[in-house]
Chains A and B, each alone.
Chain A
Amino acid sequence: MLMDIIINGLINGSVYALLAIGFSLVMGVARIVNIAHTAFYMASAYFIYMGFTFAGLSPLLAMFCALPVTVAVGLACYRLFIKPIQEHEAAVLIGTIALAIAIQEAFLMSFGGSFLGVPPLIKGYTWILGVKVTWQHLLALGVALLVLLAVRLFLMRTSVGLAIRSTAQDREVANLMGMNVTRVAMWAVAVSVGLAAIAGAIVVPLVVLDPHMWMHPLIMMLAIVVLGGLGSIEGSFVGAYIIGFTEALVVFLIPLGAFLKDSVALSIMILVLLIRPEGLFGVVFEEER
C-alpha cells in the first residue's frame, strides 16, 4: 500500500511536473493561458500509437518520431491561430479552448472513442519492499526525472534558457535590451510542446488512450501552476509532487477516492491561495497596465 502510494505519487508528480513546467514557460514568456497544452500531450500519445500500429515502428522509435511531429504541430498551431490574436486576452483564451476541442475531435473522428494502448517498452516486474512494481513504471519515473533535470540545465545554463527566463521576468525590458521577444516566444512554445510530448511518451505505455484523456491532466496541471505560483518553475515542480501525492493518497486511502481525487487536490489549491494569493513560490508580477 505504502509503496503503491509512493510509486504512483512519484510518477503522477513527475508527469504533472513536465506538463506544468511547459505551461509555466508559455504563460511566463508569451502571457498565454494555454488550455490546449495537454491536448498536445494527448496528440503525442496518439502519434506514438499511430507510429506503432500503422508504420510498424518499435515503440521506442515511434516515441522518437512522435516528438518532432508534435512540436511541429504545436508550432504550426501557435503561428496560425494564437499569434495573430495574442494581444486580445479573451480571444486567446477561447482560441486555445477551441484548439483543444478541435484536436480532441480530430482524434475522435480518426480513431473513434474506443480505448487504445501501446505495449510497454520493457516487460516484467521487480519486487521493492514486498510490492510488485513493473519495470515500465520505474523506467517512466527515471526518464521523467532525467528530463526534468535536463530542463533545469537548459533554462539555467544555455543562452536560450537565459533569454526565456528574462523575457518571462519582464517582457518590455527584455525587448528594450535588444532581445527578439517573438523568437523567444517561439522557443518557449517549442520547448513547452516538447515537454508535453515527452510527458505523453512517458505515460503512453501506462494508460489507455482515448480522445478525452487531456481533460484530467489539464485540471491537475492548472491546479499545480496556481498552487505553485504562475510562471514559477520551482513552484510548478513542488506543486506537481504535492498534487501527485495527494492524488495517490486519496485514491488509495479514501473510499470512493477515485471520484474525490480532483476535489481534494483542488481544495488544497484553494486553501493555499486563501493564505498566499500568489501561490507557494509566486513571483508578484509588476502591475501590468
Chain B
Amino acid sequence: MGLLSKKDANLILDPLADNNPITIQVLGICSALAITAELKASLVMAISVIFVMGVGNVVISLMRNIIPSKIRIIVQLIVVATLVIIVDLVLKAFAYELSKTLSVFVGLIITNCIIMGRFEAFALANGTWRSFLDGIGNALGYGVILIIVGFFRELLGSGTLFGIPVLGDPIAKTGLYATGYENNGFMIMPPMALIVVGIIIWVQRSRNKALIED
C-alpha cells in the first residue's frame, strides 16, 4: 500500500479481520440477519453501507468541532438519515429500477448501529481523510461477513447463487438433487444467519487466539 501510510492502511485492514464490526464488535447484527437470505441482497446492502459510511464519516468529521456534545447522537442520526433519503430520491429519479431493489434497505441503513458506532467512536475525534478510511474499512468488514453469510444461506437454503441455480433443479430432481440431496429450508430463516455468524466467529477466534476474551 504505497498510497497510504501504515497507520492509515490499518484503518482499512483492521476492520476486515481482527476488528471486524460484526464478528468482533458485534454491531450491525440485525441487518446481517435480515437480508442475507440471498447473495444479491447482501451485495447491494454492502455497497450501500460502504457509500453511506464513507460519506457520513466525512460529514461528521468536518462538523466535529461545531457539533454540540449534548445533542451529538441526534445530529449523527440526522446526518445519516438525510444522506440516505437524498440518495434514495436521486435513485428514484434517475435509476428507478435500482431504487426499487434498494428501497427495503433504506430503513435498515439508517438504523445500522455500525454507522452510528463509527460516527461516535471515530469521526467525532479524527480528521476527514482518516475518518473516510475508517468508514470504508468498517463498511468493507461488514460487507465481507454479509457476503459470506449470504453465500452459504443462498447456496444451502435455495441451491442458487445470485438467483442462478447451481445445484440442479430441486423440483425436477436433476443435478445434485438426483442423489437425494435436499435444500435446507431452515437456512433461509433468520436464526440460521445467527448460527452462520456464530460459526464465522468461532473459526476466526480459533485461528487467532488473541481475539478470545476471558
Interaction A to B: no
Residues of A near any B CB (own CB < 8 A) = none
